Chains A and B, each alone.
Chain A
Amino acid sequence: MSAGNPPRFVLASPESEFYWRSGADGRLRIQRCGDCRRWIHPPGPACPFCHSRRIGPEPVAGTGTVATFTINRKEWIPGFTPPYVFAFVELDEDPTVRIGTNIVGCDIDEVEIGMRVEVLFEESGEWHVPLFRPIAAEAA
């Protein structure tokens, strides 16, 4: 994303509010079942696997792999200046936890399926929006 942060239009639900606030302490959290211990995303009112109501957010490492992505060349939302990358990232804890995000911190042409990425957060009003960047970029 170039010049300035885009409008994030976060509208959290009661189940998802933790997700958009989690980055305040620099940690990404995903909903997890307290009984069967499966990770749940998007968050819901019960565990979709064992239907337990004993669910809650738990921190994850914040690392994962780019499953696929698109380079947007069109300004779908005013303020989202193209080109920018929208991607699905699969988390290391459970690749079925698939997170939509933007890949930042690298040239858009460097993004590829299988790329290793880590979370960072962009403040947007009261929210901390999870974004991802190449892990190599941090090391460099």
Chain B
Amino acid sequence: MAGERDALTGEPLERRAIISGAAQSDVGRRLYRTGIDLTVEAALGAIEDAGLTAADIDGVSTYPGFGGSFGGAMGAELHEALRLSLNWRSAGVETAGPLGAVHNAILAVAAGLARHVLVFRTVFEGSGGPLRPGGRGGGGGGMAGSAGPFQFMIPYGAASAACWVACYARRHMHDYGTTRTQLGAIAVNGRANAAANPKAIYTEPMTIDDYLAVRMVSEPLCLYDCDVPCDGSTAVVVSHRDYAPDAPAAAVGINAMGTAIRGRPSWDQFDDLTSMMMHHTAASMWERTELTVADVDAAQLYDGFSWLTLAWIEAMGFCGKGESGPFIEGGANIAPDGPVPLNTSGGQLSAGRLHGYGHLHEAVMQLRGTANIGVPGCEVVAVGAGGGPETGCLLLTKGPS
């Protein structure tokens, strides 16, 4: 087992941390509330859930660390809004995907820089983004004129991650025979699970025939392969594990985290057009634990686009490389009563694009036994968030790891 280890115990440092509290603000298609307003709602909820007060919070961590409809709110805004007194604060976008803010909080707690870190991720892409009334609809146009790496895609009308992910999905179909009917199982499974989630955006029943009949966006991706922008904030409290006995809710342990970015950090230049950075990120997580994929009781895997979930399923090792199509076909393997219950609160396709933090929140609920659709005996949950070169993951356990 490679990876960074604590010299004294041989244990991965992340096991010093737990998730002691978790909460979400109201979530909706268009709430017309400010990012900091949503953030405060989630943060106060998570602090209370952890059995703490704002005075106990001595760290703040967020992704990406800027405002606007995608950024949501800055760490400093929450710091000021709650008049926190902090020993440590961090935010950034150059992390291992959106869960990088959780990774950073875990490291701060493990290093003793802070004892209770409030982590949040806020978006208001429903009411504040391109879908606002009078807006253009369907993101990306704002990147026109980008001088960065996107300068080689924007001039060709490839202005959305949908275009880039579609290229990977098509190559996966070409090389492995993956079909749209197979891919559609991700959206259908998510919709079925969203029906039990009172905060989900879309809950009406969807069949595979509905999926196959809906309009195409960037072939082979159709409308139901793309997640739904929304407004909402998720917050968790990352605490030192010695707080676990005092936490009112069952503590969630951090068994391992995956952060590796071993290939080219690029949406368009990654060497393998049938996988993305999660291939390396998930591998780095398994290098840090004695648990194996067979120990996982539920999986919350990013579905900003449905094909990203296929890439995560393969990267995590739930099936072999290229085998995700047959693995998910018909949905039995990923249903709540299947061997790999997947995105049990609906995922982003139906429950809203909370940028991986809906998945994180659901993982905590599953391990506490309080999920809307509970997986019986759930003790280990794999969470993976992000796509392209921006991917990170966590292996969470019931109780401290």
Contacts and interface: CB of A to CB of B under 8 A. Distances in A.
Interface of A: 6-13, 16, 41-42, 67-74, 76-78, 80, 84, 86-88, 96, 98-102, 113, 124, 129
Contacts of A41: 269
B155 A42 contact: no
A91 to B, nearest CB: 13
A113 B171 contact: yes
Best-buried of B140, B158, B160, B271 by chain A (most CB within 10 Å): B158
A101 B268 contact: no
Nearest to A102: B156
Contact of A77 (B141, B174, B271): B141
Interface in B120-156: 136, 138, 140-141, 144-149, 151-156
A47 B212 CA distance: 46
B130 to A, nearest CB: 11
Contacts, number: 109
A14 B201 CA distance: 45
Nearest to A7: B144
A72 B271 CA distance: 23
A71 to B, nearest CB: 4
A88 B170 contact: no
Contact of B146 (A11, A67, A71, A76): A11
A6 B153 CA distance: 13
B136 A68 contact: no
A101 to B, nearest CB: 6
Contacts of A6: 157
A88 B163 contact: no
A42 B147 CA distance: 12
Shortest Cβ-Cβ A-B pairs, 6 listed: A70-B166, A80-B157, A68-B171, A71-B219, A9-B144, A76-B159
Best-buried of A42, A99, A102 by chain B (most CB within 10 Å): A42
Given A68-B171, A100-B268, A9 B219 contact: no
Contacts of B269: 41-42, 98
Contact of A76 (B152, B160, B215): B160
B217 A9 contact: no
Contacts of A13: 147-148, 151
Contact of A101 (B149, B156, B218): B156
B154 A9 contact: yes
Given A11-B145, A42-B152, A86-B153, A74 B217 contact: yes
A113 B273 CA distance: 12
A10 B147 CA distance: 8
Nearest to A19: B152
B285 to A, nearest CB: 27
Contact of A12 (B136, B147, B171, B216): B147
Interface of B: 136, 138, 140-141, 144-149, 151-160, 162-163, 166-168, 170-171, 174, 215-221, 268-269, 271, 273
B151 A86 contact: no
Given A70-B221, A76-B159, 6 more contacts: A10-B155, A12-B147, A13-B147, A69-B170, A73-B216, A77-B140
Best-buried of A69, A74, A76, A129 by chain B (most CB within 10 Å): A76
B257 to A, nearest CB: 28
B147 A86 contact: no
A100 B215 contact: no
17 contacts: A11-B147, A12-B147, A13-B148, A16-B151, A16-B152, A42-B149, A70-B167, A70-B170, A70-B220, A72-B157, A72-B218, A76-B160, A80-B157, A86-B163, A86-B167, A88-B273, A99-B152
Contacts of B153: 86, 100
Given A98-B269, A100-B158, A70 B151 contact: no
B151 A78 contact: no
B170 A113 contact: yes
A42 to B, nearest CB: 6
A102 B167 CA distance: 13
Best-buried of B147, B152, B168 by chain A (most CB within 10 Å): B152
A70 B166 CA distance: 6
A71 B149 contact: no
Contacts of B140: 76-77
A9 B147 CA distance: 10
A76 B163 contact: yes
Nearest to B264: A48
A98 B264 CA distance: 13
B217 A86 contact: no
Given A76-B141, A102-B156, A11 B151 contact: yes
B128 to A, nearest CB: 20
Given A73-B217, A96-B271, A100-B152, A67 B158 contact: no
